Each structure stands twice: as structure tokens, then as C-alpha cells.
Amino acid sequence: VSRSGTLELLVRKLDTHLRLSADERRAILGLPSTVRTLQAGQELSRDGEQPSHCTLVLSGFLCRSRTLLEGKRQILSLHLPGDVPDLDGLHLKSDLSLAALTRSEVVLIPHPALHELCAKFPALAGALWRESLADAAILRERVVMGRRSARARVAHFLCELMARLQAAGLSDGRTGPMPLSQIELADATGLTNVHVNRTLQDLRGEKLIMLSGAKLTVLDWPGLAKVGEFDPTYLGLRRAPSSGPEERDAAPRWTVSHG
């Protein structure tokens, strides 16, 4: 079942905050795993199901969402390569559905194997726990943003996206992929697609961003961060795995750490 190299991403992720021992590293790489490819829009797990595995994103973008009574959709979280979106499934059944926003590759890791890993290496359990807490911190930020204006919400979302892209090595901090359509962006920010459109035009008009197709460029980082009241502290980022040597003034170069 296992293929070589696919779990390397998980090792790197956990190694960011906690220095892994050789034993721990081996244990992670030895986890049973199944690689799976998802088409854009494909659902990996539905609303009420009880999954028996966790999902590690290898490439592409996934999101967890919930469908409201009136048919609207709320996107709760966005997940990049290196993330484990359904980590909470280890201990809780969740009422969210997990779906691919773009064509994606994921690795499925059975729950029992992860439970054994946690029992054998308490430090790894702590590291995984920490990851789920980081998700919760993002959620808290989203609750706070729910009170702010549409401009702030959209700007904040874009800031967070860029910051996480950079931390994942998928962006230089100024330009990167923007995997959401305006409709999906509306589902994520709690706005209407119509209003998201107008808001994006605002931000474009003020020369804060460029956004066309699936590519986002931040023209004025301080300006955008100010509009979105964005303070990256809550993300707990530490270091971009592969940061270019180039450092422009406009590009964020946070090295927040804590714990």
C-alpha cells in the first residue's frame, strides 16, 4: 500500500515546530498510506460519514464546508499541501464535508495507525494536537472577521491565503495561486458573490491587488494588510520551506514563532 516519499511532507510539517528524532521520523515514514487523486469539485467525505482515515494533502487545494438549510454553503477552512484537514476525525466525528477545490493528490492514513503512533510517541501526539489547535486559531480569526466589513473580510482572506501559500513554499509572498472562484470566495467570507465582485473591484481599483484567472498578485502588502486588519501572529508560521533569496520591501517576511 505504501509508496515512498509521499509522507515526507508530513515529516517536514511536524518538524517545523518540533525537532523530530530519527525514530519518530522513521515511524512517520513507515505509516501505511494510500495515494489518491481527486478531480476538482470531488468530495472525499460527506456530511454524516464516519471516516476511518486521515487525509494529508500532497498537491492541490481542498476545503471543508457545510451546507446550510437554505441551500447556501459555508466554507469553513481551506487546506494547502502539507495540511491534514480531517485531523479532528481522529477523536471526533465531524459534520463537515471535505472536497477538492482543484485537481488534487492526497494520502490516506488509517486512524488505527495514527493512534498507535500517538501512543508510542507522545511528542508526535503533541505535534499533531498542535496542528489541530492551529486550525482552531484560524477559525477564531474567522469569527472575529465576521463582524468586519466586506472589504476587510475579503482583504483578510487574501492576506491569509498569501501567508499560508508562502509558508507552504507555493508563493514568493507577492504572487500565488488563488484557487477559489468568486462564488466560492463568497461562501468562504459569508458574502454574496455579487458583493464579493464589487469588493474585489474596489481592491483592484485601489491598486492593492491584481486578480485574474486563478492568479493573485499583491501589489501593496501593507495596504492590503491594513484594510484586512491582518496580523499573521495567529497563524503561528515559522519559516517558508523554500523562500527565494529575493526580498522586496512589499513582501512579508514574518518569522513568527511561539509555543
Partner DNA sequence: CGCAGCGTTGAGGCCAATCAATCTCAGTGG
Partner DNA sequence: CCACTGAGATTGATTGGCCTCAACGCTGCG
Q: Which residues bind a copy of itself (CB under 8 A)?
A: 50, 66, 68-69, 72, 74, 76, 88, 90-96, 115, 118-119, 122-123, 125-126, 129-130, 132-137, 139-140, 142-144, 146-147, 190, 229, 233-234, 236, 258-259
State which residue, 154 or 170, has the beta carbon closest to DNA: 154
Q: How far is the CB of 185 from DNA (least distance, A)?
A: 7
State which residue, 30 or 259, has the beta carbon closest to a copy of itself: 259
Q: How far is the CB of 244 from DNA (least distance, A)?
A: 28
Q: How far is the CB of 69 from a copy of itself (least distance, A)?
A: 6
State which residue, 103 or 238, has the beta carbon closest to a copy of itself: 238
Q: At what angle do helices 193-205 and 182-189 cross, to 10 degrees?
A: 100
State which residue, 85 or 176, has the beta carbon closest to a copy of itself: 85
Where along the sequence are the contacts to DNA (CB under 7 A)?
149-151, 181-183, 190-195, 197-198, 200-201
Q: Which does 125 bind (CB under 5 to 8 A by kind): DNA, a copy of itself, none?
A: a copy of itself
Dist CA 78 CA 181 (whole Å): 13
Q: How far is the CB of 32 from DNA (least distance, A)?
A: 36
Q: Which does 134 bind (CB under 5 to 8 A by kind): DNA, a copy of itself, none?
A: a copy of itself
Q: How far is the CB of 217 from DNA (least distance, A)?
A: 15
Dist CA 107 CA 58 (whole Å): 7
Q: Which does 193 bind (CB under 5 to 8 A by kind): DNA, a copy of itself, none?
A: DNA
CB 35 within 8 A of CB 56: no
Q: Which does 192 bind (CB under 5 to 8 A by kind): DNA, a copy of itself, none?
A: DNA
Q: How far is the CB of 156 from a copy of itself (least distance, A)?
A: 13
